Structure 1
Amino acid sequence: MSIKKILVVDDSPTERHFLTELLGEKGYLVLTAASGEEGIARAREEMPDLILMDVVMPGLNGYQATRTLSRDEQTRHIPIFVCTSKGQETDKIWGLRQGALDYLVKPIDGEDLLARIAAL
Structure 2
Amino acid sequence: MTQILVVDDSPTEIHVLKTILEKNGYSVMTASSGEEGVAMAKQHKPALVLMDVVMPGLNGFQATRQLANDAATSSIPVIVVTTKDQETDKVWAMRRGAKDYIVKPVKERDLLERVKALVA
Equivalent residues in 2 for 1:1-120, closer than 5 Å: 4-120=2-118
- Residue identity over aligned pairs, in percent, reads 59
TM-score between both structures, scaled by the size of structure 2: 0.96
Amino acid aligned to 1:60 = L
Could you tell me which amino acid in structure 1 is paired with residue 50 of structure 2? L
Shift of 1:84: 0.3
Alpha-carbon separation, structure 2, partners of 1:44 and 1:17: 23
1:118 deviation in Å? 1.6
CA deviation after TM superposition for structure 1 residue 119, in Å: 1.8
| Aligned-CA RMSD value | 0.9
Distance 1:38 1:68 in 2: 12
Ranges of 4+ aligned residues in structure 1 off by more than 4 Å: none
How many residues align? The count is 118
Which consecutive unaligned segments of at least 5 residues does structure 1 have?
A: none
* Deviations 1:4-47, CA, capped at 9 Å, x for gaps: 10000000000001111100001100000000000000001110
Q: What's the offset of the Cα at 1:95?
A: 0.3
State the distance in 1 between where 2:89 and 2:116 align.
Answer: 25
Give the Å deviation of 1:66. 0.2
Q: TM-score, normalised by structure 1?
A: 0.96
